[in-house]
Chains A and B, each alone.
Chain A
Amino acid sequence: MIMANIIKSLYNIRMLDELAEKRTVIHSIHPLMKVMTTLAYLITTVSYDKYAVSSLLPLVFYPVVIIVLAEIPPVPIVKMALAATPFLIGIGILNPLFHHEPAIILSGIQISEGWISFLSIMIKGIFNILAALILIATTGMTGIASALRMLRIPRVFVLQLLLTYRYISVLAEEAVRIWEAYMLRTPGRKAIAFKTWVPCVGRMLMGAYGRARRVYQAMALRGFHGEYNPGDVKGMNTVDFAYCIGWVTFFVLVRYLNFSAQIGAAILGVMK
């Protein structure tokens, strides 16, 4: 199960890399503007009240539009975002236990404030992860790195981010190799025996370290001194600025005008 997850993660990373190579209208937007838009989205999402649920929902418009325009396959990207739900549950699960005050009654069922805040955490978390994944899938890690450097983020942090991302696959590949070697010699087993875990993990780290060292040597041999040069990053034009300003305006409107409540009121008005 763990190994299946590691293999899946490896494929997911590669899928994001491949998606980043597409040439769509979203991919052609300047990386800096996409990073700024994503930051604005994250800030807007987390700025909501802890009991906000319905007012958050119009923010789903952003990932949906980008997924469609950037030709990102929706199912795998949403699945990737949902993979983080155990962490979100871990963060919010205590809320229903400590906040019993009734918030709303739906069809006679009383829902406490704790459950509402838990739901709010889940929605905010999934939206944010989705936005980050979409950024990687439309910009690529190297594009994001160059945008962060333009934002004057220190070189060492950007490099750390870039290499961590690259070495995740190195570590995962090593884990898969050890898993396959182990399983071939232990027929009938479904998982690595507990007592074998320590040598396996040790071997995996040593193998990944060796591989990472060789990758670094290959980079150093081709003139790498700690600053990744992505080549000519195209200059920003009106479309790039319009993209960022357009989305930020949308986020601000959604944040201060409760679209969900207004649409609901309008529908109820029509029904009356």
Chain B
Amino acid sequence: MSHPIIDFADVYFTYPDGKKAINGITFHVRHGESVGIVGANGAGKTSLLMLMTGLLLPIRGEVHVGGVPVAKKTLSVIRQKIGFTFQDPDDQLFMGTVYDDIAFGPRNYGVGEEEVKNRVMKAMEAVGVMHIKDRAPYKLSGGEKRGAAIAAILSMEPDILAMDEPTAALDPKARRKLIHLLKGFPYTKIIATHDLDMVLELCERTIVLKEGRIVCDGLSFQILSDAQLLEQWGLEKPLSLQRCPICGTKKE
């Protein structure tokens, strides 16, 4: 059995205003796993991802990424292992062109310009955003921005993709394209989202958070098809598992 690539051991985090965001979380993620993090608003999903990337540091407990403890001294190493996409891609795209934005990470890690170019091209090809290479990020559509934000982290060649609401504000076609894209990625994926249909399609495992605690951790299909439990956690069954709203028949 492979070693866990992400390891949370009894982690607590409280914001400076006193809000207890994470209250004793323990879980492990193994190489290549796709894990959906779900829960109602304020359940602690984003805080959990931020603890994973070292944007927040636990007040108690330990987080390990790829065997390295997440601490101030190790942030540089940790952040090479994890590619994190923000909920709003506008927060992530700050350079003048998409190319420069995707090249930003590798350049900061001292990668030679020839290799930077290779990585940028490879990342853009993987995401299918080659046509927007020289465009200003603020001129892109929502789907293109999301694609550029993902390419920006792929160019860092991370082991893990951590994504906060990747399908938020995407139109159905762009959402479908993104799901298809993520399905093809070999990376370990941690996806915090309210899009339970996407979780069902992409993640074999789901962790449910409530008030900063893990209330359920198991196979996605089993968890997401239990309407009663989902109701308790402020969630509801994915649309694909609900009955047809017109004829009332159960979907296959």
Same assembly: yes
Query: Nearest Cβ distance between residue B221 and chain A, in whole angstroms?
Result: 32
> Contacting A225 at CB < 8 Å: which of B82, B103, B108, B153?
B108
Bound-state CA distance A20–B86 (Å) is 28
- In terms of DSSP, what is the predominant structure of the interface of chain A? helix
A215-B104 contact given A221-B55, A223-B76, CB 8 Å threshold: no
Contact with A along B93-108 (1 / 0, CB 8 A): 0111100100111011
> Contacting B94 at CB < 8 Å: which of A18, A20, A219, A221?
A219
Bound-state CA distance A96–B108 (Å) is 54
Say yes or no: A221 contacts B108, CB within 8 Å. Answer: no
Bound-state CA distance A89–B113 (Å) is 48
B residues in contact with A224, CB < 8 Å: 104, 108
Say yes or no: A218 contacts B79, CB within 8 Å. Answer: no
Query: Nearest Cβ distance between residue B9 and chain A, in whole angstroms?
Result: 23
Query: Nearest Cβ distance between residue A143 and chain B, in whole angstroms?
Result: 10
Q: Is B136 an interface residue (CB 8 A)?
A: yes
B residues in contact with A229, CB < 8 Å: 107-108, 110
B residues in contact with A31, CB < 8 Å: none
Say yes or no: B96 contacts A223, CB within 8 Å. Answer: no
Q: In A223-238, which residues have CB < 8 Å from any B CB?
A: 223-225, 229-232
B residues in contact with A225, CB < 8 Å: 76, 108
Bound-state CA distance A224–B113 (Å) is 17
Q: Whose C-beta in chain A lies nearest to the C-beta of B107?
A: A229
Q: How many residues of B are counted as interface, with CB atoms below 8 angstroms from the partner's CB atoms?
A: 32
Bound-state CA distance A218–B103 (Å) is 14
The interface size bin for chain A is: 20 to 34
Q: Is A211 an interface residue (CB 8 A)?
A: yes
Q: In A186-225, which residues have CB < 8 Å from any B CB?
A: 211, 214-215, 217-225
Say yes or no: A222 contacts B91, CB within 8 Å. Answer: no
A21-B97 contact given A14-B136, A223-B76, A231-B103, CB 8 Å threshold: yes
> Contacting A14 at CB < 8 Å: which of B55, B105, B138, B152?
B138
B residues in contact with A142, CB < 8 Å: 95-96, 100
Say yes or no: B107 contacts A231, CB within 8 Å. Answer: yes
Say yes or no: A222 contacts B86, CB within 8 Å. Answer: no
Q: Whose C-beta in chain B lies nearest to the C-beta of A17?
A: B96
The residues of B with any CB-CB pair to A shorter than 8 Å are 53, 55, 75-76, 79-80, 82, 84, 86, 88, 91-92, 94-97, 100, 103-105, 107-110, 113, 116, 134, 136, 138, 152-153, 156
The residues of A with any CB-CB pair to B shorter than 8 Å are 14, 17-18, 20-21, 140, 142, 166, 211, 214-215, 217-225, 229-232
Kindly list 11 other residue pairs between chains A and B, CB separation below 8 angstroms, not including A215-B92, A223-B76, A224-B108: A14-B138, A17-B136, A20-B96, A217-B55, A217-B86, A218-B92, A219-B104, A223-B79, A223-B105, A225-B108, A231-B113
* 5 residue pairs bridging A and B, Cβ less than 8 Å apart: A215-B91, A217-B91, A222-B79, A223-B108, A224-B104
